[in-house]
Amino acid sequence: MSTEQIEHGEHGEPVGNGENGENGEHVRQIQQVQRVERGGPAPHEQHTPSDTGAVPGQEPAPVRFETKIAVLLRDDLALWQRLNATAFLVSGLGSAVPEVVGEPYADADGTAYLAMFRQPVLVFEGGKELLDKALDRALTRALPRALFTADLFTTGNDRDNRAAVRAVPRTGLDLVGLAVYGPRNAVDKVFKGARMHP
């Protein structure tokens, strides 16, 4: 029997004998069929707040993170050096702190894409002295950190990168970049004196 052959009530809903019993179940099945025929989602396809992060019909609540991902770059770097250093620095945080990575992406066609950071990455700049101080502060607070030195612009693989850092004492490192993750207040103190990257 098609939905066109079903008796409808005053408001266009199928007529049944209540929500319970055989007739009630039959009415629910008919309503589901009608919903799909009208182009709406079936009940098992409808999004819930846990799927979308928002209650249908309501604006999603602002997301505030209690942690911060931040990068500090030396202010005398060329543009390509800034981009290169930033990419390497944040990759270190993603591998060491798995909780900073969100869920995989997918477009409306179902094409899958890799997961990325779950929160913004703030990029700052400052002079060499500030970078040295920031590293000391990050170490004092035992925050997860990644560093990039000027020597790494001349190497081409992970083995040589690590060897270049290993060859220099900490106080002699020619720092050009530092990435830090941790509580907001702690990261703010580590990067105190830095300015937002333009």
Over its C-alpha atoms, the chain yields an Rg (Å, rounded) of 28
Q: What pLDDT score was predicted for residue 3? A: 40
In angstroms, the Cα distances linking 77 to 1, 52, 150, 197 are 73, 41, 10, 12
Evaluate whether residue 58 is within a structural domain.
no
Task: Provide the pLDDT for residue 22.
Answer: 45
Give pLDDT, residue 134. 97
Q: What is the CATH number of the domain that holds 142?
A: 3.40.1490.10
The pLDDT assigned to 69 comes to 95
Residues 89 and 186 in one domain: yes
pLDDT string in tens for the chain (198-residue length): 444 433 444 444 444 444 444 444 444 444 444 443 444 444 443 433 344 455 667 777 788 889 999 999 999 999 999 999 999 999 999 888 988 999 999 999 999 999 999 999 999 999 999 999 999 999 999 999 999 999 999 999 999 999 999 999 999 999 999 999 999 999 999 999 998 888
For residue 45, what pLDDT is reported? 39
Q: Do both 31 and 120 map to the same domain?
A: no
The pLDDT score that the predictor gives to residue 175 is 97
The token pair that represents 78 in the structure block: 């060329």
Under 8 Å between Cβ of 162 and 195: no
pLDDT at residue 53, rounded to an integer: 52
Cβ-count burial 135-154 (b if 16+ within 10 Å, e if not):
bebbeeeebebbbbbbbbee
Do 47 and 144 reside in the same domain of the chain? Answer: no
pLDDT of residue 55: 60
- Residues 166/103, Cβ–Cβ less than 8 Å: no
Q: Where are the beta strands (DSSP E) in the chain?
A: 67-74, 105-106, 112-113, 121-126, 145-149, 175-183, 195-196
Rounded Cα distance, 176 and 127, in Å: 9
- Asked if 115 contacts 104 with a C-beta cutoff of 8 angstroms, the reply is yes
Q: What amino acid is encoded at 194 in this protein? A: A
111 and 171 assigned to the same domain: yes
Based on the domain organization, do 130 and 47 belong to the same domain? no
- Same domain assignment for residues 71 and 123: yes
Which SS3 state, helix, strand or coil, does residue 195 take? Answer: strand
Same domain, 179 and 113: yes
